[in-house]
Structure 1
């Protein structure tokens, strides 16, 4: 069996079951939103499908050649290899395993950045690579194929170091702390605030390829 390829693509309406599965994969996903049913998962996808937002899916699948009995490493017509991974028009099993989201404030050319991943796919560095890839594109000028933003922001609880590691891998710089911002399970939690500017250095984190 071949090693799955991990690619990025826009979130689609048919990602609802995968979004629901991700939220059911770990209790900590409840902090990302209230998604306990398929209609709620579809509502989240619809919320992302707005001019002021971007939803980018981290997907896992096998190159289509694997479905046709071709040996591993086969590159078919219409395919390309980017960063050592196959970029193809089609994958066998194009399943969402995580998400990078950006909520855009167009007047300020800034965006609030967030991310999550199915618990079963964590620990591989995929969220860090995906976050770096999306942030890099978001901060590039439109003339260079980017989204034209000039600043990105994100926040995470101080007791969630894994999220901070993703932020730093994506080039974000810690800028401050919002004391006791969140009330969770009866306790108040401080939140660390990060920002990344277009003028900040591009991180060395390797990018994930985009599905065409």
Structure 2
């Protein structure tokens, strides 16, 4: 099942945007911006998308270097291309909204990257496909929620791009034919248990 987890305090990048809210973007409550109300969920979403790129681009590079099948390598390239473009859009959004965004992966994401870095051969392929597909499936629900409900046009534009990117990545990960759909509600075997994270993460029994 999806675990509700607290946000980590992570290193951030200050985006010097044209708008500065009258209160910190870490503060609770909705603030008004030229593109509409900016809610805590909107702000959290922007940070989650930024965090996704910070670990999924390196994961994609590992797939290109270590993937044992053309399908795994293709999925890796999609991660690199998709999150490079999405990260650019995220930084532009943060600049427009005057938000701070993370500058490095969180603890859980670093643990996943270490696990992928340590794995070789078919084990790498299996972990890559299942960890990434599980994470994408959970963030997909958050993207849809924000896209459907946000009143901020800048955030809505980012959610539209993120929706397309995440759906593409889910599709290419599934095309590896390594995804165990029955286990998507639980972490893939061998992965670390979830810790506090600023993005939706797989939770449950050992992967």
Give TM-score, length-normalised by structure 1. Answer: 0.26
More helix by share: 2
Q: Rg larger in 1 or in 2?
A: 1
- Higher relative contact order structure (alpha carbons within 8 Å, sequence separation ≥ 6): 2
Give TM-score, length-normalised by structure 2. Answer: 0.27
